[in-house]
Amino acid sequence: MATIGFIGLGNMGGPMAANLAKAGHQVRVFDLVPAALEAAQQVGCEAAESATAAAKGAEFVITMLPADAHVHGVYLGEQGLYQVVNKDCLAIDCSTISAEMARKVASELNAHGIAFIDAPVSGGVAGAQAGTLSFMCGGNEADVERARPLLQQMGKNIFRAGDSGAGQVAKMCNNMLLSVLMVGTSEALQLGVAHGLDPQVLSQIMLQSSGRNWTLEVYNPCPGVMDNSPASRGYSGGFMVDLMSKDLGLAQRAAVASGASTPMGALTHNLYRAWSQLGHGKEDFSSIFNYLKPQTK
């Protein structure tokens, strides 16, 4: 069993750390929010006073943080983990950040003799709780293989997309597609409801027809259609609009840099930014369903 320092215990990191503790690892955790630390203690993790205290002496460090600046700050900032981790420690960042930042953190940590892979995830909070996440890794093969047994205790599909940063590229592409599916599913449901259909019935029909997609399968955006979806609990406890907006911004910047054409990604980015500006940034991203409500004539 391994000693693991786990930093970032939000909607995703909390249940991921819990699964590692359940598997018998010694998991020392840290988050800026005291309530998140207390919740982790209740599921078998050890609370640390700081990120450096959690990481010191660990064989693996796992981070699950919001965005680029948090990841760079935790590893390489003033109190950066690079100062305390063992030289044989493998750092695994599961946050969704830019591929450029993943490569920068990897090369700066490598310069200190510390191995690092990017390993962003897909599967949502339900996947994190059930231990069924998909991991998309970027890094050398030996490091990804070293991480694999741990990742398998939090997920069921572990992919190596390529070298450093490749996991983040795969994740950015996946989330851009997810946003398009979520907006498309939401507008189809709103159109059906506006014409008198029961959203439950329409969802069942589309699930068995050519419109079938992941959002209909496990993440229906219409309240009441699925018992355990964020939509049915007031769009709480899922994947925030602001985080989706961040991911779509990463995809748009990458599209500009490479000359790729991503008109649908540009459209959903603008929709999510506008929805955030209307005050919905902290809601689950399926709340875009409400933005697409028909206007009363």
Active-site residues: which are they? 171
Strand partners, 118: 93, 138
- For ligand NAD, what does the binding mask look like between residues 66 and 95, x meaning CB under 6 A? x---x--xx--------------------x
125: number of Cβ within 10 Å = 18
Min dist CB 174 to ligand NAD, Å, is 9
Pick the binder of ligand NAD from 81, 82, 93, 96 (CB under 6 A): 96
31 scored as a contact of ligand NAD (CB under 6 A): yes
Pick the binder of ligand NAD from 32, 207, 218, 257 (CB under 6 A): 32
Q: Rounded CA gap, 17 and 5, in Å?
A: 9
Binding segment toward ligand NAD, per CB under 6 A, in 4-12, 18-26, 153-161, 191-199: 4-12
Q: Which two tokens stand for residue 138?
A: 């970027």
106: number of Cβ within 10 Å = 25
Amino acid at 56: K
Min dist CB 81 to ligand NAD, Å, is 10
Q: Which is nearer to ligand NAD, 36 or 115 (CB)?
A: 36
Pick the binder of ligand NAD from 5, 80, 124, 131 (CB under 6 A): 124
CA distances in angstroms from 196 to 131, 187, 191, 232, 286, listed in the order given: 39, 14, 9, 20, 22
Q: Which two tokens stand for residue 57?
A: 């002496």
Q: Which two tokens stand for residue 150?
A: 């741990």
Q: Which two tokens stand for residue 76?
A: 């390489």
> Count of residues binding ligand NAD (CB under 6 A)?
29
Binding site for ligand NAD (CB under 6 A): 7-13, 30-33, 36, 51, 64-66, 70, 73-74, 95-96, 121-122, 124-125, 238-239, 243, 247
